[in-house]
Amino acid sequence: EVQLVESGGVVVQPGGSLRLSCAASGFTFDDYAMHWVRQAPGKGLEWVSLISWDGGSTYYADSVKGRFTISRDNSKNSLYLQMNSLRAEDTALYYCAKDIPRYSSSWSLDYWGQGTLVTVSS
């Protein structure tokens, strides 16, 4: 059974930093691209970032480019999101999600975690 479990969400002050983690199990983690998607309270979904199966390619939404860094450790079946220079508008539930095809991306997310809440507030 595919499982994705996010952690690391806390309350942080504006300008602060945070690293989110996502522990994956139930599939061959290093075969698949992985995404982060966020959802502000009561709002819609917003795509944040993608990392390729081997970590060689990364992509970011304009809203986080230059502030967030996605990475993965395939030896630990783990995905990360380093978040710097946090702003109030980054407050959201952050989901990690798996892409569909092996060794590529169809920009479709077939498994999602339950999310971890990041609150940026003074």
Positions in the binding site for other proteins (CB under 8 A)? 35, 37, 44-47, 50, 59-62, 95, 100, 106-110, 112-115
CA geometry: angle 31, 33, 39, nearest 5 deg = 145
Q: Structure tokens of 83? A: 């978040």
Cβ–Cβ under 8 Å, residues 24 and 113: no
Cβ–Cβ under 8 Å, residues 96 and 88: no
Residue 59 Cβ, how far from other proteins at the closest point, in Å? 5
Residues 6+ apart with CB under 8 A from 8: 18, 19, 20, 21, 116
Query: Which residue, 2 or 16, is less far from other proteins as judged by CB?
Result: 2
Residue 16 Cβ, how far from other proteins at the closest point, in Å? 25
Residue 68 Cβ, how far from other proteins at the closest point, in Å? 13
Residue 58 Cβ, how far from other proteins at the closest point, in Å? 10
Residue with tokens 């139930």: 26
Query: Which residue, 32 or 115, is less far from other proteins as judged by CB?
Result: 115
Query: Which residue, 16 or 91, is less far from other proteins as judged by CB?
Result: 91
Query: Which residue, 5 or 11, is less far from other proteins as judged by CB?
Result: 5
